[in-house]
């Protein structure tokens, strides 16, 4: 009865499990700011994020932090056995993760084509999200980065279109994370939000909620023609159906390409 996007992986694992041990999932609770694993380690865990938000980040040798992307509810968590993490994974909020037996998930992914497609589809979405965030950090002007982020927030947290054409978005990040993601400072975000409020374009509703009164006017002000999204071209996967839409397997994303965009 789970409606999370990642439930398709849960169903695939359950339908292809050979032993009762393969089905022994563990619910793990993670506190805010807790680190699940570091760069260069082998996490040896794989699961689905049930509640909360996780951040994938990279710390350079000179101490600069790059927030690569977010794991949203229903997203894949961790790496299959034997794979080394190219990022650190930390909790943005209190989280709950449904963990699978890693060895069983690895074996089932090797044996079952549809499960493998589902895992690759999720990794591909993570990769596209990292490219969008890299684009966001490299935008020339601060107002471009902040406005683009507010519009992208519709895909990050709960959003609610209103009868008057406005949209209420919830930003699932601290101001520090927001600032790092937009390559700016907390103070700059506060000043920019105040300016947008004075222009009648953005209203702060408290509890990290904002009303975007006119998306088109926001884009025009920031001179943004189009904002890329990571949610398009997602491969379809219907586990257990008689007919499953066929998609060629994509290569596993190489985060070295993303890392090169930071320089």
DSSP string, 146-187: HHHHHHHHHHHS-EEE-TTS-EEEE--S-HHHHHHHTTS-HH
Confidence of residue 76 (pLDDT cuts 50, 70, 90): confident
- Helical spans, DSSP H, in the chain: 7-16, 102-111, 113-138, 142-156, 175-181, 186-198, 215-222, 255-260
The verdict on 160 and 47 lying in the same domain is no
Domain boundaries, position 152 = 140-222
pLDDT of residue 100: 80
Give CA separation, 3 vs 73, 78, 186, 242, in Å: 10, 21, 35, 21
pTM of this structure? 0.76
Task: Answer yes or no: is 108 within a domain.
Answer: yes
Mean pLDDT of the chain: 79
pLDDT of residue 44: 76
The verdict on 14 and 93 lying in the same domain is yes
Domain boundary among 119, 136, 153: 136
Task: Answer yes or no: is 254 within a domain.
Answer: no
The verdict on 115 and 146 lying in the same domain is no
pLDDT of residue 244: 31
The verdict on 171 and 119 lying in the same domain is no
pLDDT tens-digit profile of 159-196? Answer: 899 999 999 999 988 899 999 889 899 999 999 999 99
Confidence of residue 157 (pLDDT cuts 50, 70, 90): confident
The verdict on 28 and 111 lying in the same domain is yes
pLDDT tens-digit profile of 186-223? Answer: 999 999 999 999 999 999 998 899 999 999 999 999 99
The verdict on 123 and 96 lying in the same domain is yes
Radius of gyration over alpha carbons of the chain, in Å? 19
Task: Answer yes or no: is 189 within a domain.
Answer: yes
Phi, psi dihedrals of residue 120, rounded to the nearest 5°: -65, -40
Task: Answer yes or no: is 247 within a domain.
Answer: no
Task: Answer yes or no: is 253 within a domain.
Answer: no
Is it the case that residue 255 has pLDDT exceeding 50?
no
CATH number at residue 67: 2.60.120.10
Confidence of residue 262 (pLDDT cuts 50, 70, 90): very low
Q: How many domains does the chain have?
A: 2
pLDDT of residue 114: 72
Task: Answer yes or no: is 263 within a domain.
Answer: no
The verdict on 102 and 24 lying in the same domain is yes
The verdict on 13 and 107 lying in the same domain is yes
């Amino acid at each position: 009865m789970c409606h999370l996007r990642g439930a398709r992986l849960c169903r695939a694992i359950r339908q292809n499990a050979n032993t009762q041990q393969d089905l022994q999932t563990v619910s793990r609770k993670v506190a805010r700011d807790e680190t699940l694993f570091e760069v260069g380690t082998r996490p040896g865990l794989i699961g689905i994020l049930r509640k909360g938000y996780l951040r994938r980040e990279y710390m350079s040798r000179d101490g600069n932090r790059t927030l690569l992307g977010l794991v949203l509810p229903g997203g894949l968590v961790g790496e299959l056995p034997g794979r080394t993490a190219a990022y650190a994974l930390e909790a943005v909020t209190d989280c709950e993760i449904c963990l699978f037996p890693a060895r069983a998930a690895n074996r089932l992914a090797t044996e079952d084509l549809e499960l493998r497609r589902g895992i690759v589809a999720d990794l591909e979405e993570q990769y596209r999200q990292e490219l969008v965030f890299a684009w966001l950090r490299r935008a020339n002007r601060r107002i471009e980065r902040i406005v683009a982020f507010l519009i992208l927030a519709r895909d990050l947290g709960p959003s609610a279109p209103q009868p008057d054409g406005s949209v209420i978005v919830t930003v699932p990040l601290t101001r520090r994370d927001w600032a790092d993601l937009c390559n700016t400072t907390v103070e700059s975000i506060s000043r920019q939000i105040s300016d947008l409020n004075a222009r009648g374009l953005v209203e702060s509703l408290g509890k990290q909620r904002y009303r975007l009164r006119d998306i088109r006017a926001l884009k025009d002000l920031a001179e943004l023609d189009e904002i890329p999204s990571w949610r398009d071209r997602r491969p379809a996967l219907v586990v257990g159906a008689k007919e499953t839409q066929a998609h060629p397997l994509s290569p596993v994303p190489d985060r070295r390409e993303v890392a090169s965009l930071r320089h």
